[in-house]
Structure 1
Amino acid sequence: VEDHWIQTELGDATYLDTEPWRGEALLTYLRKMVFWADVAIEPADLAVLSLLGPRLADDGVLGLLGLGSLPAENTAAPLADGGFVRRMSGPGIELDLVVPRSQAAGWLDRLTAAGVRRAGVWAYEAHRVVGLRPRLGVDTDERTIPHEVGWIGSAVHLDKGCYRGQETVARVHNLGKPPRMLVLLHLDGSTDRPAPGDPVLAGARAVGRLGTVVDHVDLGPVALALLKRGLPADTALTTGGENQVPAVIDADSLPAADITGAGRLAVERLRGGAR
């Protein structure tokens, strides 16, 4: 995986929201891909304010946003003074307020006056981690393929092309299984926190890499990790640098049982002599 973004369609414009360190490279690449279409690709000086919780459906908050009701999941609505509000998918209510950066401070003040409580980015990161939502470059590495991190369907379309890596995506989907899986780890909180990129060990054997590490208000220290696929949930794990930190896989975060792809079924039928 080289790039990942949140894409929002609004009127005649398409907005791509990606990691800051990938913005310039993605902009350069997309400009090279303009052939026949009448399209302009430009950076947008926008800030993202993420809003979480059931009170976002209150009349006071909706009125401030100029909405009569919550948008449907994965849709967006324009804001009167520029920018837009989009609703993210998932349990609960999550909205992104995407506004001109010069207006961000004013929006924070108005939201606070409407009863929305401010929280730091650590609170959002904890919400993201327990939702198994990886970040490019933190929870992924140079070997990550979309199947490992749950981006098939939501970020990669199997019926569209062409794009770099399409052959690998199709081959794994139809014939094989991804070599790793994204899981939630519970960490021992009695020692120093490990860091993203630290190896995850089963005994002396490396079985994966650590991603985002956060402290959750209910679950304590948790982390995302890419582990060898098929690793049992009760495997004793450690991670960290000089001070090894015990870790336990959250069994509920394990991916669903593998479904044999259509290509593999066809191969098995041929090998078995079926027609």
Structure 2
Amino acid sequence: MADASSSASSSPLAELPAAIVGSTGVARAYGNTFSEQRALTAGTALVDLSHRGVIQLSGPERLSWLDSLLSQRLDSLKVGQSSEALLLDPHGHLQHAMRILEDGENTWLLVDEGRAPALTAWLIKMRFMKQVEIVDRSEELATIGYFADSIPEPLQPLVLNHTGTPVVWQDTWNQVSEGGWQYSADHPASHWNYAEAVLPREALTTLAQAVAAGDVILAGTDALEALRIAAWRPRITTEADENALPHEFDWLRSAVHLNKGCYRGQETVAKVHNLGHPPRRLVFLSLDGVAEVLPETGDPVMDGENEVGHITAAARHYEEGMVALAILKRNTSVDAMLSVHSQGEVIPATQVVIVPPEAGRTANVPRLPRLGAVKRES
């Protein structure tokens, strides 16, 4: 797994007096995380994500080449269109997740912290004779997150724009992408209007000055994390491990096209979706608010005396209280009385199903008897 640290330079937004800076070098909060969550959902706050990576692809064959490598249909991506895709290993396990935007001359890949160098190196290795140029721009460019259907006014003059199309990725998580698959009929992300804008890194100083003047409101990454968890939105840095399959995280919803041509790991994706079941499943947990302890990544989730999974991310939400995402064994009952063990505390947890135990096996192919098997009389 990638190192969580960032190679990018320190952000001026993390040097503001109110900033509470985390290990990634950006602010986790600027004061009250609940008010920051409200400001984000209202579309009045920005969140500094300058620790994350930005990769630029250019050249006439970039989209068809990407389409051959990644899980999403990309060869027909239109100018200004956003998408999401996964890089899988030959066995279908997650290696990278990319937020993708096309501006007509370049395809932009936005990735989680610490992941750009390894992904860039792999893409360059796989270029062969294709007319594609790949450059890690993370040292020069920074990402700012926000919730709105259009670019907030303070960002408009700062957003990278060389082609007439602003480099702004609009998350597609609020609906099932073409060729995708959703497990839950009642999904909380229908109003999820999250976006990420790419700026020259020196523009962060301009934003910091606007914050000092009272013209811009900032929220920390803790506020964004709480909203992400409540929307069931997976992130590779927190949810995935070396055994992760897209099906386990509801990622077929936005990042996998089930009917596109060949790509690495496709056989496993198709086999699990049509004939098998993902071995684990992501769930949303509503945690007992009496406990003061906030669970940490990796804390065990218990069904009685049996460990059935672990926490991937937890936060305090401004409306829903203490919430978490967890990955459980597939056959864990949806009615199980779960608890989270953290820092000596036992925290009761109510499970909300994201990926059901019966996920997969959509082909409904009857199982054939084994050769030589004896049919027993009833």
Pairwise TM-score range, normalised by the shorter structure = 0.7 to 0.9
**Which of 338, 341, 347 matches 1:240?**
341
1:183 paired residue number: 283
| Alignment correspondent of 1:70 | none
CA 1:229–1:107: 2 relative to 1, 3 Å: same
| Runs of 5+ consecutive residues of structure 1 not aligned to the other structure | 67-75
Q: Is the 8 A contact 1:194 1:245 kept in 2?
A: no
Aligned to 1:207: 308
Structure 2 partner of 1:172: 272
Cα RMSD after superposing both structures: 3.1
For residues 108-257 of structure 1, the aligned pairs below 5 Å read 109=209, 117-158=217-258, 159-163=260-264, 165-189=265-289, 190-251=291-352, 253=354, 255=356
1:98 to 189, 193, 198: 198
TM-score by length of 1: 0.79
Secondary structure of 2:203's counterpart equals helix
Query: In structure 2, do the counterparts of structure 1 residues 26 and 166 end up closer, same or farther at CA, with 3 Å as the change threshold?
Result: same
- Superposed CA deviations along residues 136-195 of structure 1, whole A, max 9, x for unmatched, are 1311222110000112252233323231x3322121011011121111111233232221
Q: Secondary structure at the match of 1:142?
A: coil
Which residue does 1:65 correspond to in 2?
Answer: 156
Kindly indicate whether the alpha-carbon contact (under 8 Å) linking 1:83 and 1:99 is maintained by their aligned counterparts in 2: no
Aligned to 2:169: 86
Counterparts of 1:31-46 in structure 2 under 5 Å?
Answer: 31-44=124-137, 45-46=140-141
For structure 2, which runs of at least 5 residues remain unmatched after alignment? 1-93, 175-190, 370-378
Q: Answer yes or no: is 1:25 the counterpart of 2:112.
A: no
Instruction: Quote how far apart the aligned CAs of 1:112 are.
Output: 8.9
Contact 1:50 1:96 in 2 (8 A): yes
Deviation at 1:103, TM superposition (A): 0.9
Q: Percent identity?
A: 33
How many Å separate the matches in 1 of 2:313 and 2:206? 31
1:72 is matched with which residue? none
* Alpha-carbon contact 2:288-2:322 (below 8 Å) kept: yes
What is the CA-CA distance between 1:26 and the residue it aligns to?
Answer: 0.8
Question: Partners of 1:234 and 1:108 in 2: how far apart?
Answer: 48
TM-score (norm 2): 0.59
Distance in 2 between residues matched to 1:96 and 1:223, nearest whole Å: 23
